[in-house]
Amino acid sequence: MALTRRDVLKWALEASALSAAGTPFRAFGAEAGGDRTADIPYGAAVYLPDLQTDARLGAAISRHCTRVTPVTELKWSSLRPTSGTFDFAPGDAIVGFADGHGMDVHGHTLVWHASLPDWVESITDAGEAERLMREHVATVMARYKKSVRSWDVVNEPIPDAPDGVTDRRDGYWSERLGPRHVRLAFEVAHAVDPAAMLVLNEYDVEFAVERSPAKRAAFRNLVEELLDQGAPVHAIGLQGHLRGGWPIAIDELADFVVDMRRLGLQILVTELDVQDQDLVSPADERDAVIAGQVFDFLSAVSAAGPPHSITTWGISDQYSWVRWAFPRSDGTRNRPLPLDWDFQRKPFMDVIDHFRTLRI
Ligand code: G3I
């Protein structure tokens, strides 16, 4: 019988009550003895200093996940301290952790308008900027070719509030190379590693309100334009930074995902978490609302079958960017991720497990 949102909310409140009473509860939707080998990969983003200072983090990731995404270590800001040097040590450390635990690494991100060192921003010549992009993509992909089999090649190409479907985000690469920089990045990446999965990654395309419908239309237009030009785009990344107060556009997102699959693209959930600063305060009630929103999002994303993978932007509330980016006015702890501050499981994790084992 198809799972419903009501099932999730009802279960989540029951499970929270049982958990609060210290009574173990069945994981939601877990098929007892199900064949988990067919599960889709679940990953978490990780920041090296957190991994190095808290052994619980590595233990939780190796227990729950089969892939990781470095939060900063494969960005220009970490890799490129000066124009003449690469700092691979942080990236090597995370790749080493993943290799040591039999996990793969999702590369984030080769070309982005943000996290660029000042020395890059100072380059204004288009020819030099193109040479720099080609050098960076070739050097970084070649180094991590064995462990990094998928890359966010271009991150966040659509402006926050597009004024039309052909609108593209301004920023360093647009200003130096124009809109062609997106196609160029994919072509260079494909030439370096023809077997790598190349992803176009975006946020805020999943909601029913605010700027999301316009952003979804502009993102769709860019994808279709790139494919018409023969750009080697293999997948789209739906970051999934869900905003607690914004409803998911379930039907529109499902239609969007079905259309993307029809274009031959894989769907990756790349940065899932829930900004809960405006949600109710009691933890158990908030966890149920969060689980419900994650359910809505993953239901729509799974409309044409399970996504390629699901990655959350961290795994424990204690190590989430949401804490400092969207603190709660009541001073209580944010609860944006599948495990709480003390690495205890929340309904969020069971909703993930449900969609990982979905059989369409
Ligand atoms: O750890 C240092 C700390 O020692 C230092 O005192 C402090 C001040 O300089 O910086 C700390 O590092 C920060 C790092 O996050 C860890 O917290 C960097 O400054 C800060 O720039 C970095 O921000 C990250 C941001 O991307 C830029 O790389 C966020 O954590 C990370 O969550 C965010 O992730 C992005 C994705 O890449 C793209 N999608 C949106 C997502 C959220 O914004």
169 has pLDDT over 90: yes
pLDDT band at 26 (very low <50, low <70, confident <90, very high): very low
| Of 73, 135, 156, 225, catalytic | 156
HEC string of the chain equals: CCCCHHHHHHHHHHHHHHHHCCCCCCCCCCCCCCCHHHCCCEEEEECHHHHHHCHHHHHHHHHHCCEEEECCCCCHHHHCCECCECCCHHHHHHHHHHHHCCCEEEEEEEEECCCCCHHHHCCCCHHHHHHHHHHHHHHHHHHCCCCEEEEEEEECCCCCCCCCCCCCCCCHHHHHHCCHHHHHHHHHHHHHCCCCEEEEEECCCCECCCCHHHHHHHHHHHHHHHHHCCCCCCEEEECCEEECCCCECHHHHHHHHHHHHHCCCEEEEEEEEEECCCCCCCHHHHHHHHHHHHHHHHHHHCECECCCEEEECCCEHHHCCHHHHCCCCCCCCCCCCCECCCCCECHHHHHHHHHHCCCC
Residue, of 236 and 12, whose pLDDT is higher: 236
> How much is the pLDDT for 37?
47
The mean pLDDT value for 295-309 works out to 95
- Give 289's contacts (C-beta < 8 A, 6+ positions apart): 9, 244, 276, 279, 280
Nearest residue (by CA) to ligand 1, atom 15, is 72
> How much is the pLDDT for 34?
39
Q: Is the CB of 321 under 6 A from ligand 1?
A: yes
Q: Is the CB of 71 under 6 A from ligand 1?
A: yes
> How much is the pLDDT for 201?
99
Per-chain mean pLDDT for the chain: 92
Q: Is the CB of 270 under 6 A from ligand 1?
A: no
Nearest residue (by CA) to ligand 1, atom 16, is 47
The mean pLDDT value for 169-194 works out to 98
| Of 73, 202, 206, 271, catalytic | 271
The mean pLDDT value for 107-119 works out to 98
What is the number of other CB atoms lying within 10 angstroms of the CB of residue 75? 21
271 counts as catalytic: yes
Distance (angstroms) between ligand 1 centre and the Cα of 301 equals 27
Which tens digits make up the pLDDT trace of 129-164?
999 999 999 999 999 999 999 999 999 999 999 999
> How much is the pLDDT for 39?
86
Q: Is the CB of 319 under 6 A from ligand 1?
A: no
Which tens digits make up the pLDDT trace of 326-343?
999 999 999 999 999 999
> How much is the pLDDT for 1?
43
Q: Is the CB of 239 under 6 A from ligand 1?
A: yes
The mean pLDDT value for 204-211 works out to 96
27 has pLDDT over 60: no
Predicted model pTM: 0.93
Which tens digits make up the pLDDT trace of 77-98?
999 999 999 999 999 999 999 9
Nearest residue (by CA) to ligand 1, atom 33, is 71
> How much is the pLDDT for 9?
62
> How much is the pLDDT for 359?
65
Distance (angstroms) between ligand 1 centre and the Cα of 360 equals 37
202 counts as catalytic: no
The mean pLDDT value for 244-258 works out to 96
